[in-house]
Amino acid sequence: RISQKVIKDRLPPIAYNQENSRRLFVHVLNSTYFHLVTGLEAPPSPISVRTYNELKLPWYTLFDEELPDIHHSSEFSDVKSTECGYCTYEMATTQILPCAHNFCDDCAAKIAACPVCRTRITQRERFAAPMRMPGQEEEDSIEATSLQDRIVALKRCAEKGCVASFKLAEDAISGITG
């Protein structure tokens, strides 16, 4: 599970060196706009939670409970997610043209004609990274609580300047049983 927490800055503006400030313009583009702005194909979507699990890589969420987050940001309050027009497993990530119906990556890759209106597909444009339907995110993810003790131990060691390491239970040496 990937999550983001927007934190309100506790420091007043006067705390920053405003004479030495620089303005930085950041533009976040979905793949459709990336193609329109740059003329290049959008980069491939990042690997999924399933890939992390198959490779036995850690997948967890860290967050800081002491800092208040900003709720109900008006800039994102009207953003709506789109379900895949074919399956009920994934959220839509690709728009097919010319009909502009939306499908997940897997469904969009398998079809030559739109299952909704039967229009022949001339182009596929990805507008988001692959994601699960709400409520199904947990099916192939590793919960943060399963790693919580290890995270606390790593933070303690980092404060002391020492190194901590852990091994998977399946890699542990078991005693001889008879």
Q: pLDDT (tens digit, 9 = 90+) per residue, 3-56?
A: 566 677 777 777 778 788 888 887 777 777 888 888 888 877 666 767 777 777
Vertex 33 angle, CA 49 and 120, to 5°: 80
Q: pLDDT (tens digit, 9 = 90+) per residue, 135-159?
A: 555 444 444 444 556 666 777 777 7
Which letter, b or e, does each residue of 123-154 get, where b requires 16 or more Cβ atoms within 10 Å of its Cβ?
Answer: eebbbbbbbbbeeeeeebbbeeeebeeeeeee
Starting at the edge strand that comes first in sequence, how are the strands of the sheet with 102-103 ordered? 102-103, 94-97, 123-126
Strands (E), 98-175: 102-103, 123-126
pTM of the entire predicted model = 0.35
Q: pLDDT (tens digit, 9 = 90+) per residue, 62-95?
A: 555 555 555 555 555 565 667 888 876 677 888 8
Asked whether the beta carbons of 91 and 82 are under 8 A apart, the reply is: yes
Structural domains for the chain:
28-63+81-144 (3.30.40.10)
